[in-house]
Amino acid sequence: MANDRVRFLDTTLRDGEQSAGIGMTADEKLEIARQLSRLRVDIIEAGFAASSPGDFQAVSNIARQVRGPVIASLARAVANDVDQAWEAVKHAESPRIHVFLSSSDIQVLHQLRKNREEVMDMAVSMVTRAKRYCSDVEFSPMDATRTNPEYLFQMLEAVIRAGATTINVADTVGYAIPSAFGALIRDIQRQVAGIDKVTISVHCHNDLGLAVSNSLAAVEAGARQVEGCINGIGERAGNASLEEIIMALDTRKDLFKVDIGVDTTQLYPTSRLVSRITGMSVQANKAVVGENAFRHASGIHQDGVLKDRSTYEVMRPERVGVPGSSLVLGKLSGRAGLQSRLEALGFKLSRDEISKVFESFKLLADKKREVTDRDLEILMDEEKRVAGEPVSYTLDHVQFVGGDHNIATATVRLIGPSGDVLSDACTGNGPVDAVCKAIDRVVGSSGKLVDFNVQAVDEGLDALGTVTVRVEKDGKIYTGRGAATDIIVASAKAYLSAVNRFLAADEASTLPAVGTTPD
C-alpha cells in the first residue's frame, strides 16, 4: 500500500545537462547540488559516472561533499557502468545506483538489436550486480510507456526479485497522456508481484507539454517518487518541471493528500542559480518561477490583489522564495541596503566580501538608474566566477571601433597569469569577432565560437547585458559568461572566461586521469 510521502529525485545535473547546448563544470555542478540539498530534494541524480572522466569526477565530488539527499549515479545495464557508478557514489552518506535499459520493442529491436529475453537477462544481471555494491538500487525500463504492458510487468517483477528498491516508469519520449499514464501506474500495482515492497517512481518528458500533468496523474494513482529538473530543462523539450510539481502538491494538498519534504522557499533561488549556470533563461510567464508569475497587470486584478492577495494568487510569492522588492537600489544606496537585499536573495556574505561587492555595485550604479535583483544576481555570479575561475587572464581594458563603413577593430589589454600586462589588436567581421581574435592573439591559443547568446537582464536602455558563449576546442565545448552594460565588453568577458577554462583543461590534461575503475 502506498504511503503518503512523495519523494523527489532531481536530475538537473544529469538529464538536465542533456539539454542541447548545456555544459556545466564540476564546480558548477557542486554548487547546484549544494543548493538542491538546501531545497531538500530527496535524491540528487548527480550524473552518469561512466559517460566521461569529467562526469565521474563531478558525481564523486558531490557524493563526498553534499550531505542530506541520497546521491545517485545513472548507469547503463552494462558491468563497467555499474562498477563506475558505485565507485563514484560510494562515499555518499546515502548512495544509490540507477540502472536503466530500454524495454520497448521499438528500442529493443531497432536500437539495441536484441530480443526481449536477452534484454530481460541484462536487466536482472545488472540489478543483481548493483545490489552487491549498494542496498539502494533504482531500475528504469526506458521507454516504458511504449512497452508491451505484459513484458513491462514481467521485467519489473524480475528486477524487484533481483533487488531493485525503486522502479522508475519512464515516459522517455513524452508520449503519455495523463489518464492513460495514471491507469498504467494502477495496473503496475495490480499486476506486478512484489510491487508493494518497492517505491514506484515516474520520469516524464515534455514532448507534448504534458510532463507535469502526467507526473501528477501518477501521484494520484500511487507513485511515490517523482523525477524532474529545475526549470524543466532536459533532453529535447525537457523534463517535468520539478518546481511546478512541488507547488501543485503543496498548493492542492487538499486534493493530493500527500506530504513532501521540500523547503519550497528555496525554489526561486534554485531556479535562478540553474538559469545562471546553464545560460538557459526562464520564460517570463513560466509557472512558479517566471518573472511574471506574481505580477498583476490589469486594473481589476491589481485592485483585487491590493485588497487581498488571495483574490488573484493561489500561492504566495514568499512560499516559493520570490523576494518582495520595496527597496530601490541605486547610486545613493549604502552598504547596509545592498547587504539586506543580497541576503533576501539568498547570498550570505562576510564583511570583506560585502566590501568587495559594494565596489562593483557602485561602478554599476554609476551606469544604471536602478540596480535590480537580476543585476545583483549577475554581479554576484561574476564575483564568484572570477574568484573561482581556473586561472589566468583577466580583462583589463577593451576598445573597439566599428560601424557600417569601418572595418571592425578591437584592442584588448589583459592581465596575464603572473601579473604581466599584455595587449594586442585585431580586425574582424564585426566587433565581437574582432575582440575574440584580439584575445586569441594575446593568449596565443584560439577556440571556435559555436554559440553566442546575448540577453538583457531587464528592460531599459541602460540594462545590464549578459553574454553566454560556447567555444569548441579540441572537440570539447567550454562555456563562458560575462555581464556588462556594454554588450561588447560582456562578450569579451564571456569569451575570456571560456578561454581560461580551456587553457586550464589543457593544463589538467597533462596530469594523470583520476577516479576511473577498470572493468
In the complex, the residues that contact Zn ion under the rule CB under 5 A are 15
Instruction: Tell whether residue 142 is a contact of ligand KIV (CB under 6 A).
Output: yes
Q: Please report how close the Cβ of residue 141 comes to Zn ion at its closest, in angstroms.
A: 12
Q: How far is the CB of 352 from Zn ion (least distance, A)?
A: 43
Binding mask 164-183 for ligand KIV (x = CB under 6 A): ----x-x-x-----------
Report the residue number, 107 or 271, with the smaller CB distance to ligand KIV.
Answer: 107
Number of residues that bind ligand KIV (CB under 6 A): 10
* Best CA proximity match to 504, nearest among 448, 453, 443, 449: 443
- Nearer Cβ to ligand KIV (175/268): 175
Nearer of residues 199 and 497 to Zn ion, judged by Cβ: 199
Provide the 3-class DSSP secondary structure of residue 4: coil
- In angstroms, what is the minimal distance from the CB of 45 to ligand KIV? 9
Cα distance between residue 171 and residue 393, in whole Å: 45
Phi-psi region at 8: left, alpha or beta (left = phi > 0; alpha = psi -120 to 50): beta
Shortest Å distance, C-beta 140 to ligand KIV: 4
CA distance 512 to 303: 65
Q: Is 8 in the site for ligand KIV (CB under 6 A)?
A: no
Q: CB-wise, 48 or 400, nearer to ligand KIV? A: 48
Total number of residues shown for the chain: 519
Min CB(50)–ligand KIV separation in Å: 13
User: Residues 258, 4: contact at Cβ < 8 Å?
Assistant: yes
DSSP character string of 134-156: -S-EEEEEETGGGS-HHHHHHHH
Nearer to ligand KIV, 74 or 200 (CB): 74
Binding-site member from 61, 140, 147, 333 for ligand KIV (CB under 6 A): 140
Least Cβ distance, residue 66 to ligand KIV (angstroms): 21
Residue closer to Zn ion (CB basis): 178 or 228: 228
Helix (H) or strand (E) holding 338: helix 335-344
Helix (H, G, I), strand (E, B) or coil at 31: helix
- The nearer residue to ligand KIV, 216 or 412, going by C-beta atoms, is 216
Which residue from 106, 130, 132 is spatially nearest to 119, judged by alpha carbons?
Answer: 106
> Grid coordinates 529535447 are at which residue?
236
Look at strands 394-401 and 448-456 and give their pairing: unpaired
Shortest approach of Zn ion to residue 239 CB, angstroms?
Answer: 6
Query: Is beta strand 166-171 parallel, antiparallel or unpaired with respect to 199-204?
Result: parallel
Q: How far apart are the first and last CA of the chain?
A: 40
Q: In what order do the strands lie in the sheet with 421-428?
A: 394-401, 408-415, 421-428
Q: Residue 514, CB half-sphere, CA atoms under 13 Å: how many? A: 11
Partner from Zn ion, ligand KIV, none contacting 248, C-beta within 5 to 8 A by type: none
Cβ closest to ligand KIV, residue 35 vs residue 103: 103
Q: Which of residues 83-112 bind ligand KIV (CB under 6 A)?
A: 100
Among 146, 203, 341, 470, binds ligand KIV (CB under 6 A): 203
Q: How far is the CB of 254 from Zn ion (least distance, A)?
A: 31
Residue 339 interacts with which of Zn ion, ligand KIV, none, CB < 5 to 8 Å by class: none
Q: What is the largest CA-CA distance in the chain?
A: 76
CB of 163 to Zn ion, least distance (A): 23
Q: Which does 100 bind (CB under 5 to 8 A by kind): ligand KIV, Zn ion, none?
A: ligand KIV
Among 7, 9, 13, 15, binds ligand KIV (CB under 6 A): 15
Residue with Cβ nearer ligand KIV (107 or 497): 107
Please state the separation of Cα 408 from the chain's center in Å: 37
Shortest distance, position 15 Cβ to ligand KIV, whole Å: 5
Residue 142 interacting entry, from Zn ion, ligand KIV, none, C-beta within 5 to 8 Å by type: ligand KIV
The closest alpha carbon to 496, from 386, 401, 388, belongs to 386
Nearest CB to Zn ion, comparing residues 187 and 207: 207
Q: Are 103 and 146 in contact (CB under 8 A)?
A: no
In DSSP terms, which residues pair with 408 in a beta bridge?
A: 428
Cell numbers of 125, please?
A: 544481471
Binding site for ligand KIV (CB under 6 A): 15, 74, 100, 140, 142, 168, 170, 172, 203, 205
